[in-house]
Structure 1
Amino acid sequence: MLGPMTVRETGDETPRPRRRAPAGAAVLREDKTEAIRAAVFGELAAVGYARMSIEGIARRAGVGKTAVYRRWRSKLHLVLDLVSALAVQGLPTPGTGTLEGDLRLLYEVTARALRHPVASQILPDLLAEAARNPDIAQALQKALRDAQHSVASGVVRAARERGELSAEFDEDLALDLISGPLYWRAVVMRGPQPRDYLPALARATAAALKAL
């Protein structure tokens, strides 16, 4: 009897030890992790960051509090992890063949995401918390600004290669022009968008970029 030793069935009679998990190691089930992530978005939308608790998250996810604390030290770390993850999801890079067309597609995709019921409730609350918490502010900047600018940079680069934009202009200003108006209207002002708003915004932004 070999106990923890096994014999391979390949003709190699040399006993080899079974691989065991390190003592005390916890295996984190991915289904529980995803349930907790979904519960965080649900709690943020329902009660906001200030009133959100680990107890509420665990109850909504159908897990114990220990399952949450195994993965994140606090609700702050949990929210920062989720918000930061948004930055790597990215947006599809438009490829319509024109600057105005690329901008319009970018705006349509972004506006659709910002209109999502959960996003429309969570973002204003997190922006308010960001004014009081520099860690949340930094995570939001990465998720909202850096990810959007990554796609916008691709739009600008493609327009330059087609000769629609000058090779020498202020790229930071250009990226602010692309991203700023839609976020201002959808996230800060939270006002309704006229039916022709996105096409008009794409035309105006393209004209402004060409004038730089």
Structure 2
Amino acid sequence: MTRRAPTGAALLQPGVTKAITDAVLAEWAEQGYARLSMESVAKRAGVGKSALYRRWPSKQEMAMAVLADFSVALAATPDTGSLRGDLREALDSVLTWLTDPSFSRIMPDLAAEATRNPELCAFMKNMIGTPRRERSAVMLHRAVERGELRADVDLELLQDLLAAPVYWRLSVRGFPVEPTYLDDLTDLILRAVTTTGSA
């Protein structure tokens, strides 16, 4: 799915774009996607609705473009020189993403909406999931080239392991994620996928 590029007028006003972005995230977190509207975002950002429509043709494209920009920017591609260091930094970035005050409230709503809205689900996959995974894949391919990661490791499954346990602990179990949890998770992943079979 192709994102609509902002017009020249939009690109000339980065301050306005920042105000709109902040307003979208705040309104979505407070009101939910169903009650999110171009009008409420424009009012909160202190701009006219035309400023929004110059950037996006619909609420759905506005919401997903803003959320994608926010989410992909937080997808780490660490290059610490070791697989363990890279994995640990990647897990930190996942935690930062999932515990953001606005996103932590948006994520459950987004997941629920996506089950009812196939187009929104496609936006979420193509604009957030795929770009984030492409970034983490760079880190994993480097580890394969260094000989730290087995060449036969399922990289798709490994990328699931970089986010799923943190999400499950936070959102499903409602437990905090301490640094020791991330350290232990890093070592567990390493034992499963490294060429030596141990951290």
* TM-score strictly above 0.5: yes
| 1:77 aligned residue | 61
Asked if structure 1 preserves the Cα contact closer than 8 Å seen for 2:74 and 2:97, the reply is: no
| 1:51 aligned residue | 35
- RMSD between aligned residues: 2.5
Which amino acid is the alignment partner of residue 89 of structure 2?
Answer: L
Distance across 2 between alignment mates of 1:26 and 1:197: 46
Which deviations, in whole Å up to 9, do the C-alpha atoms of 1:12-69 show, x marking residues without a partner? xxxxxxxxxxxxx994451323322221111011111111122211110112223323
| Partner of residue 176 from structure 1, selected from 144, 149, 160 | 160
Unpaired stretches in structure 2, ≥5 consecutive residues:
1-6
Residue pairs, 1:16-165, within 5 angstroms: 27-28=9-10, 30=13, 31-86=15-70, 89=73, 91-165=75-149
Asked if structure 1 preserves the Cα contact closer than 8 Å seen for 2:24 and 2:41, the reply is: yes
- Residues 54 and 201 of structure 1: is their aligned pair in 2 closer, same or farther, counting only changes over 3 Å? same
Distance across 2 between alignment mates of 1:145 and 1:77: 16
> When the two structures are superposed, what TM-score results if normalisation uses the length of structure 1?
0.76
Asked if structure 1 preserves the Cα contact closer than 8 Å seen for 2:76 and 2:136, the reply is: no
SS, match of residue 132 in structure 2: helix
Distance across 2 between alignment mates of 1:163 and 1:26: 46
Deviation at 1:144, TM superposition (A): 4.1
Asked if structure 2 preserves the Cα contact closer than 8 Å seen for 1:160 and 1:166, the reply is: yes
Unpaired stretches in structure 1, ≥5 consecutive residues:
1-24
Identity value in percent: 38
- Residues 110 and 154 of structure 1: is their aligned pair in 2 closer, same or farther, counting only changes over 3 Å? same
SS, match of residue 116 in structure 2: coil
Deviation at 1:188, TM superposition (A): 4.7
Tell me which stretches of 4 or more aligned residues in structure 1 moved more than 6 Å. Answer: none
Distance across 2 between alignment mates of 1:54 and 1:165: 47
> When the two structures are superposed, what TM-score results if normalisation uses the length of structure 2?
0.80
Asked if structure 2 preserves the Cα contact closer than 8 Å seen for 1:87 and 1:142, the reply is: no
Deviation at 1:182, TM superposition (A): 2.0
Deviation at 1:165, TM superposition (A): 2.1
Distance across 2 between alignment mates of 1:67 and 1:157: 41
For these two proteins, the number of residue pairs brought into alignment is 187
Structure that is richer in helix per residue: 2
Distance across 1 between alignment mates of 2:164 and 2:61: 28
Which amino acid is the alignment partner of residue 92 of structure 1?
Answer: A
Tell which structure's C-alpha radius of gyration is larger.
Answer: 1
Distance across 2 between alignment mates of 1:147 and 1:187: 23
Which amino acid is the alignment partner of residue 138 of structure 2?
Answer: G
Asked if structure 2 preserves the Cα contact closer than 8 Å seen for 1:43 and 1:57, the reply is: yes
